[in-house]
C-alpha cells in the first residue's frame, strides 16, 4: 500500500467545526473580544447555509446577546415577526384549536421571528468575515487530531478525489490539518466528530441517553389570498397515533412563502412507519390541503434534531475543546426552538476560550464552559421543560401533553415539579419492535398536487455526491442487516430514510441491500434509528450533499 503524503497544516488560535449558528456566533464573539485572535471555521457544505435546515421561529435572545444593535441594520434576515400563534389537535377530519390561554407562557411566540435559518447563517458569516474570521466552506472535518497527552489539538479535513475502490483518482488531493489552541465542535445533531469525542472521553457518562427526532420540511409559494405573513400554526395528533410522538409546523414567511414541516420523535415502535409518508399524508388533511392547492413546492429537506434536553446534554468540555450548539443538544422540545441556545452556547464558549488564551493556556480542559451553562440563559430555558419529552414518551401524546403542560405551569407558578427530573430511559433505536408485532401501513399514493414521492423531493434538495467515491454510509455487517434489519424488522431503513437511500432488492434469488448514497441528504436518521446500530454515517467529500437555498 502506498504511503500517504503528509498533510499540509495551518495553525490558528481557535478552530471551529461547522458554520451553523453556534460556530459562527463563537467566531464572532472571539473576534469581538480580541480582534488579534486567529479563528477559522471549516464547513462541509458547499457554501455557508447549504446544509442548514430548521423551521424556524427564532427567539432573538441569542442574537440580542451577540449583536445588540442588529435591529438598526438595513439587511438583517429577521423581517417577519410573529403576529398570530395557533395550535391545533387533529383527528382524521377535524382540527380543534387549543386555546392559547391554557398554554404556559414559555410556549408563546410573541416577539419571535419567522426566518430561514440558512439565511441567518449567511448573514452571520458576513459578520464573521468582516471581523477577520477565515471560513472554509466545502471542506469536511473527518478526523480529530490529538497530542501525545491525548488532548485535542485540531482537525483534519477529508481527502478529495478517492475512487470507489480506495485508489487515488486523477483529482486526488490530501486533506489539511487545521491546528488550534482550542477546538469547538458545532456540527449540529449527531455530528460524526462529536460522536467520536463523546465516546472517547465518556462525555455522556451519568447522563440520560440523547433523544432525537427527524424533521422533514418543504418550502412552498402559495396563493397570496391564503398567505398571512407572521402566522404560526402547529398541530398534534393525526396522522400519527397516540403512541407516536410528533407534530407539524406551518410558518407564513415573506413573499407568499410558507415553511411546512413535520417532526417525528425517533423512539417510535412500529418498523412499518415512514416519517416521509406521514408528512405527505398530513398535507392531505381537510384543514391543511386547501392551503397548498394552487401553490408550488420549491424546496425540500430533512434533518435530525436533538430532543433530550437538560438530562441528555453531555459534558461539554474535553482536553483541548468543547461541544457547542446541537452537537451538545440544546433544543427546547415544546418550544420547537434551539437556534437561540446554539447562539448563546457559542457566545459562552467563546468568552471562556478567549479568557483561557489570554491567560496563556492551550489544549487543556476549559471547565468553566461545562460548569456555567446550567445557570445560564440556556439552563433557564431547558430546565422548566425537562419533563415534557419523557412524559410524552411514557404516556402518549394526549395525556403527555396534558401532564407536560401541568408540569410547566407548576414550575412557572411554584418553581416545583411533582415529577422531579425524569429519565429518558433507552436510546431511540431500542424502541423499535419486531415486525411481527405490527401491521404494515397502507400509505396513499402521492397525488402530485400536495403530496409527492421521495425521488422528486430529493431532486428539490439539490443533493449531489460523486458516484465513484467510497460510500460514506458504512454498514458494519451485511449479514446482520439481512438476518435482523430485514428478517426481524422488515427493512425499516427503506422507510425511515427520507431520501430513498436504502433498498432491499431481489438479486439472483436473494435479497440484496442497496445503498443509494448519492441520494443522502445528511439527516443522519440511519445512524440513530438502525435497530442494531449497524449503520454509521460518515462525512463524504466536502462540498457534497444538499444545497438548500433558504431553508
Report pLDDT digits (tens) over 171-197: 999 999 999 999 999 999 999 999 999
Q: Is the pLDDT of residue 19 over 70?
A: yes
With beta carbons less than 8 A apart as the criterion, state whether 424 and 329 touch. Answer: no
Q: What is the CATH number of the domain that holds 350?
A: 3.50.50.60
376-399: average pLDDT? 97
225 and 285 belong to one structural domain: yes
**pLDDT at residue 61, as a whole number:** 97
Question: Mean pLDDT in the chain?
Answer: 97
120-142: average pLDDT? 98
Q: Write the CB contacts of 472 (distance below 8 Å, at least 6 apart in sequence).
A: 465, 517, 520, 537, 538, 539, 540
Is residue 547 situated within a structural domain? no
500-505: average pLDDT? 97
Identify the domain containing residue 411 by its residue range: 388-420
Q: Is the pLDDT of residue 326 over 80?
A: yes
227 and 365 belong to one structural domain: no
Q: Is the pLDDT of residue 1 over 50?
A: no
State which H helix or E strand residue 217 sits in. strand 212-221
64 and 87 belong to one structural domain: no
Is residue 550 situated within a structural domain? no
Q: Is the pLDDT of residue 435 over 70?
A: yes
Longest dimension (CA), the chain: 69
**pLDDT at residue 4, as a whole number:** 82
Q: Write the CB contacts of 126 (distance below 8 Å, at least 6 apart in sequence).
A: none
% of the chain beyond a pLDDT of 90? 97
**pLDDT at residue 2, as a whole number:** 58
106-117: average pLDDT? 96
432-440: average pLDDT? 98
Is residue 512 situated within a structural domain? yes
Q: Is the pLDDT of residue 479 over 60?
A: yes
410 and 479 belong to one structural domain: no
Q: Is the pLDDT of residue 3 over 80?
A: no
- Give tens-digit pLDDT for 32-86: 999 999 999 999 999 999 999 999 999 999 999 999 999 999 999 999 999 999 9
415 and 433 belong to one structural domain: no
pTM of the model: 0.97
The number of folded domains in the chain is 4
Whose cell is 441528555? That residue is 312
Q: What is the CATH number of the domain that holds 270?
A: 3.30.9.90
Amino acid at each position: 500500500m502506498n504511503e500517504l503524503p503528509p498533510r499540509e497544516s495551518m495553525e490558528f488560535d481557535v478552530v471551529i467545526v461547522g458554520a451553523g449558528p453556534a460556530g459562527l456566533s463563537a467566531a464572532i464573539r472571539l473576534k469581538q473580544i480580541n480582534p488579534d485572535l486567529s479563528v477559522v471555521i471549516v464547513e462541509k457544505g458547499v457554501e455557508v447555509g447549504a446544509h442548514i435546515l430548521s423551521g424556524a421561529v427564532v427567539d432573538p435572545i441569542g442574537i440580542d446577546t451577540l449583536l445588540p444593535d442588529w435591529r438598526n441594520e438595513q439587511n438583517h434576515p429577521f423581517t417577519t415577526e410573529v403576529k398570530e400563534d395557533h395550535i391545533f389537535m387533529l383527528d382524521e377530519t377535524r382540527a380543534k384549536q387549543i386555546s392559547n390561554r391554557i398554554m404556559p407562557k414559555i410556549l408563546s411566540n410573541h416577539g419571535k421571528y419567522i426566518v430561514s435559518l440558512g439565511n441567518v447563517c449567511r448573514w452571520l458569516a458576513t459578520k464573521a468575515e468582516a471581523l477577520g474570521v477565515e471560513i472554509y466552506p466545502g471542506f469536511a472535518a473527518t478526523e480529530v487530531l490529538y497530542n501525545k497527552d491525548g488532548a485535542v489539538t485540531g482537525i483534519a479535513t477529508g481527502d478529495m478525489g478517492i475512487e470507489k475502490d480506495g485508489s487515488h483518482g486523477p483529482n486526488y488531493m490530501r486533506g489539511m490539518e487545521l491546528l488550534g489552541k482550542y477546538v469547538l465542535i458545532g456540527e449540529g445533531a449527531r455530528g460524526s466528530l462529536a460522536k467520536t469525542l463523546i465516546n472517547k472521553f465518556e462525555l455522556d457518562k451519568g447522563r440520560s441517553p440523547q433523544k432525537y427526532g427527524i424533521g422533514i420540511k418543504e418550502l412552498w409559494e402559495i396563493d397570496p389570498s391564503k398567505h398571512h405573513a407572521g402566522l404560526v400554526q402547529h398541530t398534534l395528533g393525526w396522522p400519527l397515533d397516540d403512541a407516536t410522538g410528533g407534530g407539524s409546523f406551518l410558518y407564513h414567511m415573506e413573499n407568499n412563502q410558507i415553511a411546512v414541516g413535520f417532526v417525528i420523535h425517533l423512539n417510535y415502535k412500529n418498523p412499518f412507519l415512514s416519517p416521509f409518508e406521514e408528512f405527505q399524508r398530513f398535507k392531505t388533511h381537510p384543514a391543511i390541503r386547501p392551503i397548498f392547492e394552487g401553490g408550488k413546492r420549491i424546496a425540500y429537506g430533512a434533518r435530525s434534531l436533538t430532543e433530550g434536553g437538560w438530562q441528555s446534554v453531555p459534558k461539554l468540555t474535553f482536553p483541548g475543546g468543547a461541544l457547542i450548539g446541537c452537537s451538545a443538544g440544546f433544543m427546547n422540545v415544546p418550544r420547537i426552538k434551539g437556534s437561540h441556545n446554539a447562539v448563546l452556547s457559542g457566545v459562552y464558549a467563546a468568552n471562556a476560550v478567549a479568557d483561557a488564551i489570554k491567560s496563556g493556556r492551550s489544549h487543556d480542559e476549559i471547565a468553566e464552559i461545562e460548569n456555567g451553562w446550567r445557570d445560564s440563559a440556556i439552563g433557564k430555558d431547558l430546565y422548566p421543560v425537562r419533563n415534557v419529552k419523557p412524559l410524552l414518551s411514557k404516556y402518549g401524546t394526549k395525556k403527555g401533553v396534558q401532564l407536560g403542560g401541568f408540569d410547566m405551569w407548576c414550575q412557572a407558578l411554584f418553581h416545583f415539579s411533582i415529577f422531579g427530573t425524569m429519565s429518558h430511559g433507552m436510546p431511540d433505536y431500542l424502541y423499535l419492535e419486531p415486525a411481527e408485532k405490527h401491521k404494515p401501513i397502507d400509505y396513499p399514493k402521492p397525488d402530485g398536487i400536495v403530496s409527492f414521492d421521495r425521488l422528486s423531493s430529493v431532486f428539490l434538495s439539490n443533493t449531489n455526491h460523486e458516484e465513484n467515491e467510497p460510500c460514506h454510509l458504512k454498514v458494519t455487517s451485511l449479514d446482520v442487516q439481512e438476518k435482523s434489519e430485514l428478517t426481524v424488522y422488515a427493512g425499516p431503513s427503506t422507510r425511515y430514510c427520507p431520501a430513498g437511500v436504502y433498498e432491499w432488492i431481489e438479486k439472483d434469488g436473494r435479497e440484496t441491500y442497496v445503498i443509494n448514497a448519492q441520494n443522502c441528504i445528511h439527516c443522519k436518521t440511519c445512524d440513530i434509528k438502525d435497530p442494531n446500530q449497524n449503520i454509521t454515517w460518515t462525512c463524504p467529500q466536502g462540498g457534497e450533499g444538499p444545497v438548500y437555498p433558504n431553508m
